Amino acid sequence: MMKKGTYILVLWLWITSVSAQQDQLYTQFGYNKLSFNPAYAGQDDYLSITAIYRDQWNGFPGAPEAQQVSANLPRFKGNAGFGVHLERQSIGVSKSIAIHGSYAYKLRFSGDRMLSLGVMPSLRNLVKDFSDPRLVATEGVIDDPAVMGQRFSKNLFNVGLGTYYNHGNYYLGISVPRILRSSLEIGESGLGSNNEVWHYYIMGGAEFPINKDLSLTPQVLIRKSEVAPLTFDFNVGVKAFDKYNLSATYRSGGLLDDIGESLAVTVGISVNKQFLIGFSNDFSLSEINQVTNGSIELLLYYRFVPDDPKKKVANPRFF
């Protein structure tokens, strides 16, 4: 019979095995396209820095946390874009640190239409720490033969592809962040067949002016992997006075009987033409809401806009 305390360990390992096949989700995906689509690199004429902190399932021991910093460099000679982002994730006894580079080549068409083709090499370090002091069992973890009691680490290289099209007030992108089917197994046994799978992303959005001070900004992010059903985030926002952003996001998923995974509210404020702050609060629609306080996400965005009075810079649309 399973020990009561070991239930916590089993639950953590179950979450870890699931997360190994799923990429990190961010509610403010409209501000974070570079992390899963390399073709977004060099989208603007200036350098921009984005930092994100996400605390998922707040209040649940061992729940996922993620931190990310990305730099999107200005276009080089009008048709080349470069970017880089560093990401840290943790869930239960598992942690990962990854660095991604992005290169995009721009094809310009008549008007302001532009098609980008991108490639994203990445290097990740995966860790499973079974010596974590948070692991508990009724008679002690050290006496449980099912617990290895060691720290394991592994490095993985991968590469992703993406395409991104924008025209005026709308955009569309398709990407596969990792295409190599590397093994994710960590440990001494070498058992199992836990390999990387393809994750497909389709994203799109638009901005529809209501009047000179207000505009409507719907966006959608569709996700599909080879081992999971199709899910999506649908976001509807309102931008006011080129300064304030308020949006609501519905995320599909959860269990079969759930109406979805979560609902989120996001507030964004452009402090000035360089600096934007975004905060979102996710409210779970699945049964996990009985043991968590939802999820929170903080985003900081800074762009190095040149101080040139002859050049007008619009509020960031991230298109």
In a domain, 308, yes or no: no
Residue-wise pLDDT for 120-134, tens only, equals 999 999 998 777 666
C-beta separation of 42 from 166 below 8 A:
no
User: What does pLDDT average to over the chain?
Assistant: 83
Distance between CA atoms of 205 and 287, rounded to whole angstroms?
30
Picking from 297, 298, 302, 296, the residue whose alpha carbon sits closest to that of residue 276 is 302
Give all strands (DSSP E) within 168-198, no chain letters: 170-176
pLDDT at 149: 67
Q: Give the residue, 150 or 90, on which the prediction is more confident.
A: 90
Tokens of 220: 């959608």
Q: Give the residue, 67 or 140, on which the prediction is more confident.
A: 67
- pLDDT at position 115 over 90: yes
In a domain, 77, yes or no: yes
Residue-wise pLDDT for 19-60, tens only, equals 444 578 899 999 999 999 999 999 888 899 999 999 988 777
Helix, strand or coil, per DSSP, at residue 106:
strand
Beta bridge partners of 157: 123
Distance between CA atoms of 43 and 317, rounded to whole angstroms?
11
Angle at 91 between CA 88 and CA 95, to 5 degrees: 45
What burial letters (b/e) apply to 174-189, b meaning 16+ CB within 10 Å?
bbbbbeeeeebbbeee
- CB atoms under 10 Å from CB of 199, counted, come to 21
pLDDT at 319: 61
pLDDT at 202: 97
In a domain, 291, yes or no: yes
Residue 137: pLDDT band by 50, 70, 90 thresholds? low
Picking from 277, 244, 310, the residue whose alpha carbon sits closest to that of residue 28 is 277
Residue-wise pLDDT for 274-318, tens only, equals 999 999 999 988 777 777 778 999 999 999 987 664 555 555 555
Distance between CA atoms of 281 and 196, rounded to whole angstroms?
30
Tokens of 147: 């617990």
* Tally of domains within the chain: 1
In a domain, 174, yes or no: yes
In a domain, 316, yes or no: no
Tokens of 59: 């209040």
In a domain, 74, yes or no: yes
- Domain extent, residue 111, equals 6-303
User: H helices of the chain, where?
Assistant: 6-19
Per-residue pLDDT, averaged over 205-209, amounts to: 94
- pLDDT at position 3 over 70: no
Please give the span between the terminal C-alpha atoms of the chain, in angstroms, as a whole number.
56
Q: Give, as one character, the DSSP assignment of residue 315.
A: P
Query: Residue 172: which CATH number?
Result: 2.40.160
Least confident of 176-190, 248-262, 271-285: 176-190
pTM: 0.84
Picking from 245, 203, 272, 169, the residue whose alpha carbon sits closest to that of residue 39 is 203
Picking from 279, 297, 32, 273, the residue whose alpha carbon sits closest to that of residue 175 is 32
